């Protein structure tokens, strides 16, 4: 009698294993994890939506004297202020060293910006709403094509 039970159980086990493999292959096993980074969203506007994700530089917390040495997704990604109601002014030295590819603007300046370098060596000047000016030195090892 035990031989008959064993014979009956094998097909049932095979069916259970086969159906669980089929369900997981079809995505019915539950929520799937993604390795994609969330988009960089500032004041309701998406500036970068890439699987790699940006490395955003918070200008207010950037150490004085520290140099930007590489681009990330889209260029150099800068968070300029912490509020959607006030902005900052961004300039470059020399002026033709970079362009602002994308930005979030308010009446009084920019809140965030994606900078596309044209040269390897330049300075980004950020003048905040209170008038204080910060200099971010850029010394790239190589330019990434846009």
What is residue 90's three-state secondary structure? Answer: strand
Q: Do 43 and 111 meet the contact criterion of CB atoms below 8 Å apart? A: yes
pLDDT at 94: 97
The token duo for 60 is: 């207010």
pLDDT at 130: 86
In degrees, rounded to 5, the angle at the alpha carbon of residue 130 between the alpha carbons of residues 126 and 134 is 25
pTM: 0.70
Reported for 37-46, long-range contacts at CB under 8 A and 24+ positions apart, including other chains, are: 40/77, 40/112, 42/79, 42/84, 42/104, 42/111, 42/112, 43/84, 43/104, 43/106, 43/111, 43/112, 44/84, 45/104
pLDDT at 146: 66
Cα 63 to Cα 34, 57, 67, 141, 143: the distances in Å are 33, 11, 9, 20, 23
Domains of the chain, residue spans: 1-33, 40-139
pLDDT at 40: 84
The C-alpha atoms of residue 2 and residue 7 are separated, in whole angstroms, by: 9
The pLDDT tens digits along the chain (146 residues) read 555 555 555 544 444 444 444 444 444 444 555 556 788 888 988 887 776 666 788 888 888 778 999 887 678 999 998 889 889 999 999 999 999 998 898 877 999 999 999 999 999 999 988 888 999 999 998 887 76
């Amino acid at each position: 009698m035990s031989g008959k039970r064993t014979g009956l159980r094998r097909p049932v086990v095979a069916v259970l294993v086969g159906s669980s493999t089929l369900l997981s292959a079809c995505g019915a096993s539950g929520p799937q994890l993604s390795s994609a980074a969330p988009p960089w969203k500032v004041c309701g506007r998406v500036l970068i939506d890439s699987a790699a994700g940006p490395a955003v530089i918070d200008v207010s917390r950037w150490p004085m004297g520290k140099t930007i040495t590489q681009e990330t997704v889209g260029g150099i990604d800068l968070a300029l202020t912490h509020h959607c109601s006030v902005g900052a002014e961004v300039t470059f030295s020399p002026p033709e060293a970079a362009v602002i590819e994308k930005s979030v603007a308010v009446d009084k300046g920019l809140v965030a910006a994606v900078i596309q370098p044209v040269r390897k060596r330049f300075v980004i000047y950020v003048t905040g709403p209170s008038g204080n000016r910060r200099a971010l030195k850029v010394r790239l090892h190589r330019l990434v094509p846009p």
